[in-house]
Amino acid sequence: MQEALNRIDWEKIDLLPVIVQDVKNSEVLMMAYMDKEALELSLSTKIAHYFSRSKHRIWKKGESSGHMQAINSFNIDCDNDTLLIKVTQEGVACHTGRRSCFFTELESGEVTSKVEVDTKSAYGVIDTLYHTIQERKQADPKTSWTAKLFSKGDNTILKKVVEESGEFCFAYKDNDEAEMVYEAADLTYHMLVALAAKNVSPDRIKQELARRFDMSGIAEKNSRED
């Protein structure tokens, strides 16, 4: 395995671009990245592991959805800095529920393939909403509230976060549970818009909460002040 890892020109790149093809018909399913550890895991398990730039961590393809990729072959390009893997795809490759991530015609914007699997339950409402918000960046601001927020820029996005935070606090003070739930949902949505504007995955929030899980609040606060 070490010999295979050493074939990569890691001095040139930190993250190895990986093109993923279906072993049966060579359809391009997706493109992702591996760091050295993700490649080592992929080589040893023959299950695709990638490094997520938005989550800032290694992730096993299908860890949430169950749509894993069994790797049949690894091929490095002539410059030793791009990998092609052929896989047996379980389910679908794209988080949208489509077979391939490449389903939009660039010039016309036409969607060329249909959703095959409803992935909402697999990824959970927060991750699904975040991905939807990311997709709406390119939508028409006249028809999409999310696109309108992005078009107006940071000040509008942050103003809405502050506004919804205040409305949640008023609902709390009024002891109105239904309104608290409603305003918390509004606040969550606008926070996700702000995160999406900076391409920060909510998975990183989960990671931070997990890090704090066995740490007292006082110790966590002190760790930030050091």
CB 134 within 8 Å of CB 196: yes
**126-220 has which fold?**
Helix Hairpins (1.10.287)
Where are the chain's structural domains? 2-123, 126-220
- Amino acid 44: pLDDT: 96
Pairing relationship of beta strands 69-76 and 57-60 according to DSSP bridges: unpaired
CB 180 within 8 Å of CB 187: no
- The pTM of this model reads 0.72
What is Dmax (Cα atoms) for the chain? 66
Q: CA–CA separation, 139 vs 144, rounded Å?
A: 7
- Give the CATH number of domain 2-123: 3.10.20.810
Question: Any idea what the Cα angle at residue 15 is, between residues 45 and 47, rounded to 5°?
Answer: 15
Residue 62 backbone zone (phi > 0: left; psi -120 to 50: alpha; other: beta) = left
Q: CA–CA separation, 185 vs 189, rounded Å?
A: 6
pLDDT tens, the chain, 226 aa long: 889 998 998 988 999 999 999 999 999 999 999 999 999 999 999 999 999 988 899 999 998 889 999 999 999 999 999 999 999 999 999 988 999 999 999 888 888 999 998 877 777 889 889 999 998 998 899 999 999 999 999 999 999 999 999 999 999 999 999 999 999 999 999 999 999 999 999 999 998 998 888 765 545 455 555 5
